[in-house]
Structure 1
Amino acid sequence: MKALKLLSTGLLLVAAFAVSGQTKKVGTGIGDIAPEIKLNSPSGKEYALSDLRGKYVLIDFWASWCGPCRRENPNVVRAYEKYSKAKFRDAKGFEIFSVSLDRSKDAWEKAIEQDNLQWDYHVSDLGYWNSKPARTYKVNSIPASYLVDPDGVIVAKNLRGPLLDRELDKYVKKL
């Protein structure tokens, strides 16, 4: 009797899940729900990726010691300046969520200032390649990026230079 009750409860849960249309899984592929990242900023303030739901978000993995990252930063800054004030068809805006793979807080802060990374969302656990978000997102080279839609779904990966603009332009109503 107990086994039958457990089986019927399980079937009800499966049916409820199927009816809800909830087919997206948490993962790092295009179409997946982006895994949560919750870390501190250089000032110690905790930021969560999920706090930015409703906006397009570029998750940008980088580090102060990474030459290619530092060379890409002007493109990221330009995109932020262009799209942070844009009107989107289905979102409340655009934000950048920078995840640093630095080991040194001082070097990280200095690079943010030097590269004029003017957005608020800078986070790190100072774990270098052992950073929890880097492991979760399977980041094995940087710069690496994920574009997340207002529902938290990954819509593109590794957008650099003009590719970021091309992708964001698909969703913009008015610049």
Structure 2
Amino acid sequence: MKKTLLIVAFLCCVITSSKAQVIGVDVGDIAPEIDLPNTKGENVALSSLRGSLVLVDFWASWCGPCIKEQPLLLKLHNAYPDKLSIYGVSMDTKKPLWLAAIAKGKLPWTNVSDLKYWTSPVVGDYMLQSVPLNFLIDKNGIILAKNIHGKALEDMIQNQLAQ
């Protein structure tokens, strides 16, 4: 009887101490859903891109570092058109500036914004404090990396797609 109780107690400890996968913004978490309007006003859910590697890129037309990173994103988008999706989330509040930045940068990927910046629900969901900020998400919606830029981003995407 003691042996059985010890086994049951051990199993309870193992089961309750294992970390369940949660929705959050840490590496290993399930990325929170985003469902915002694109440039045509049609909502596009982040989850609609499941099945491919996804880079969620928080940016704004007035953010110099964001604009500076766009050529690399364009390079990655063109290099892996069927394996990598980019989901650009703009923190702009003025639609003409947002649309102009997309046109100027020739950004062909999904771009969304609710034009609310700090009052947007995604700010809290993704604990956004500044831009640029990005999250690399696997085909199942699991966060692989966050706030990764430049060569490190390029290398990680290449490594993920080589698997």
| Same fold flag (TM > 0.5) | yes
Contact 1:79 1:164 in 2 (8 A): no
Specify the SS of the correspondent of 2:65: helix
Which residue of 1 is the match for residue 128 of structure 2? 139
Structure (1 or 2) with the greater helix fraction = 2
1:59 equivalent in alignment to 2:48: no
Quote how far apart the aligned CAs of 1:22 are. Answer: 9.0
Q: Please tell me the residue identity of whatever aligns with 2:103.
A: E
**Equivalences for 1:19-168 in 2 at 5 Å?**
23-85=20-82, 93-119=83-109, 121-168=110-157
With normalisation by structure 2, the TM-score equals 0.85
Aligned-CA RMSD value: 1.8
Quote how far apart the aligned CAs of 1:136 are. Answer: 1.0
Which residue of 2 is the match for residue 172 of structure 1? 161
| Structure 1 unmatched runs, 5+ | 1-14, 86-92
Q: Please tell me the residue identity of whatever aligns with 1:39.
A: L
Quote how far apart the aligned CAs of 1:23 are. Answer: 2.4
With normalisation by structure 1, the TM-score equals 0.79
| Structure 2 unmatched runs, 5+ | 1-11
Identity %: 41
Contact 1:75 1:160 in 2 (8 A): no
Q: Deviations over 1:40-82 (max 9, x none)?
A: 0121111000111111100000000111111111111111111
For 1:55 and 1:39, how far apart are their aligned partners in 2?
Answer: 19
Specify the SS of the correspondent of 1:140: coil
Q: Please tell me the residue identity of whatever aligns with 2:161.
A: V
For 1:161 and 1:76, how far apart are their aligned partners in 2?
Answer: 9
Quote how far apart the aligned CAs of 1:24 are. Answer: 0.8
Specify the SS of the correspondent of 1:146: strand
Specify the SS of the correspondent of 1:32: coil
- Count residues in correspondence: 148
